[in-house]
Structure 1
């Protein structure tokens, strides 16, 4: 009987030791999950209570671009969603690396009574002040002062194209506009449109595929099997130009000036980029005084294309007529005004006024006078093209 009891005692002893050794790690895992759940609930409660500082206290301060992006996301969210309808649920937590965890989150909210639900991963990092929300778990490639982060592991080639385009764009804009980026240039590529919008703002229109605001990373929606190198490069140049204009103007450029510059350099900065083509006798869609008041983010797809095109044409007229040195001067005058920490749509009236004042100072003309000159130039070019067509028809 004693011989039979001895092995059983040994087994029980081993089990008790194993349980004893495992208990601290199991307890820690349980504690960490509870902490992550508490952080998620804190974010949820902060949005529903409209307490911005409470919301930002969950974000990792070591990621300044992400902090700025989440400030803008929060400002939009509390206006966009139905009050009290924001919900976050922790689905799972898995270790990423030392002091880092990857959590899958379910987010839902109501907008005009309709429920919107999405799932996405978040990286949580352990800091001196506890666990913090630290953005998506990205893959990364870098070159000098440019870094590209991407959400899908199979998109290394597209990320490399983006890296090369961003590096070239920064180099060329430094030469043309004497621009020295205030921050390292960071590009984020998302393989899901809803993940992109989650990093920008929930209200963003469906047609939007890229984004940059002052103090943020450049953000783009990618596509599976994406092979159009020109389109990727053009999109990167567009957003890098936004970064340049924000830096050089203290983020005081009117929305139309921002988009005009971005569209112009998207077409003309690097060899082989696609150029905008105007139709014959193609007149502006809006007067500039009307264009100033339009919030691009509230336009439909077709109207947005017209808006971009008009901004491009007016900026092209300005730069071809007065030169890049004059445009640099315009940007430097805008930079004399203090920066306002709001997105461009929210400070539309203020940046419009500052841009008008800077135009008057630099060009000696009002915005309306510049517009009249532009329209006259278009009519002259249209007549010249028409005369050339007549001469060709009759063999002149």
Structure 2
């Protein structure tokens, strides 16, 4: 599936960290609008950045995704894919014509030129406001400013790239390293997965995660991964290292299953595998539930996780894990590898998961039928 989630067990909101040393900025409030005055040498840049912000607002209110692609830097393919999903969701989720985006200030930092933005929109008549920031740069080939991605402190590692919103989170590299090392070694040995460079983004706030995923993201979501995107996780002030390790393995599992199935696995199998291997590699994360509370595969196939309440979401996760556990008992990891080979024959669908739930259910069931005689009566 396209959308994969790890739950936030504790919700704590913390403030935004200021990045770097800014250029001189003064503000004048007039009619609820913020005007930015900078030294004359920066005025052309600010005009260009304002044009970029205005274009994003205009496209979200009136345009299509293709209208926006020219205004995103091609330097990060994962960010490009993330914004495509964000845009597709926003078009459906936001009340038509309600989107507003305002440039608050611009700073030069060690990370680049950072634009601080105020965003607002309506959803079913209710106003939503938040603030976020973007690295922007002038593209001489396009001859206008483009957005790069959110400001991250970055570190190259043996497994890929670690990106964090707060520089102090780089000190937790060993936590993420432990999770990635265990996960990569296990999946390579047991599922014949070929490791590839991994990108991890650690956010300090859940609303910053949502800005990287989609406006409709449920507030209990603490991690995310989609095909061709970065692994994302929220690390708040009191987030434990063990929770982060299990979260990384959960999201890495989604990446592995997407790779092995061309993103065609049923939602229940995707979440079941993520929960199962998270518990297997880091048992402290396990959630228990009475057997009579476990939903059947047929019931799970009819559900969309993101539409469930917090309580039902937990039940969904545990039910998926137990269904995957039973599947492994029936066919073993060797049998699972055959299943991956079969379902990989289907082409990848680059659409929102809600648009392909039924198709993925069908492809999963057909692959299980074809490969495993034991499933003929069940499917």
Range class of TM-score, shorter chain: 0.7 to 0.9
Of 277, 285, 298, which aligns to 1:289? 298
Structure 1 partner of 2:288: 277
User: Which structure is larger by alpha-carbon Rg, 1 or 2?
Assistant: 1
**1:303–1:50 distance in 2 versus 1, CA, 3 Å:** farther
Structure 2 partner of 1:267: 279
5+ residue gaps, structure 1: 1-24, 371-396
8 A contact 2:209–2:232 mirrored in 1: yes
Report which of the two has the higher share of strand: 2
Of 363, 370, 377, which aligns to 1:354? 363
**1:31–1:222 distance in 2 versus 1, CA, 3 Å:** same
Report which of the two has the higher share of helix: 1
Deviations 1:220-272 (A, max 9, x none): 1111143x2221111110000000000010000010010010000001135x5
Aligned length: 340
Structure 2 partner of 1:87: 100
Q: CA RMSD in A?
A: 2.0
Of 117, 122, 135, which aligns to 1:123? 135
Q: Please state if 1:161 is matched with 2:172.
A: no
Take 1:295 and 1:265, find their aligned partners in 2: how far apart are those partners?
Answer: 22
8 A contact 1:141–1:163 mirrored in 2: no
TM-score by length of 2: 0.85
8 A contact 1:104–1:119 mirrored in 2: yes
Structure 1 partner of 2:62: 49
SS of 2:71's equivalent in the other structure is coil
How do 1:136-151 residues align onto structure 2 when only pairs under 5 Å count?
Answer: 136-151=150-165
Take 1:46 and 1:90, find their aligned partners in 2: how far apart are those partners?
Answer: 16
Structure 1 partner of 2:146: 132
8 A contact 1:211–1:220 mirrored in 2: yes
Q: Please state if 1:171 is matched with 2:188.
A: no
5+ residue gaps, structure 2: 1-37
Shift of residue 286, structure 1, vs aligned partner: 3.1
TM-score by length of 1: 0.81
Q: Which has the higher contact order (CA 8 A, sep 6+)?
A: 2
Q: Please state if 1:230 is matched with 2:246.
A: no
Of 60, 77, 89, which aligns to 1:76? 89
SS of 2:155's equivalent in the other structure is strand
Take 2:213 and 2:315, find their aligned partners in 1: how far apart are those partners?
Answer: 23
Shift of residue 285, structure 1, vs aligned partner: 4.0
**1:29–1:366 distance in 2 versus 1, CA, 3 Å:** same
Of 330, 334, 353, which aligns to 1:344? 353
SS of 1:214's equivalent in the other structure is coil
4+ runs deviating over 6 angstroms: none
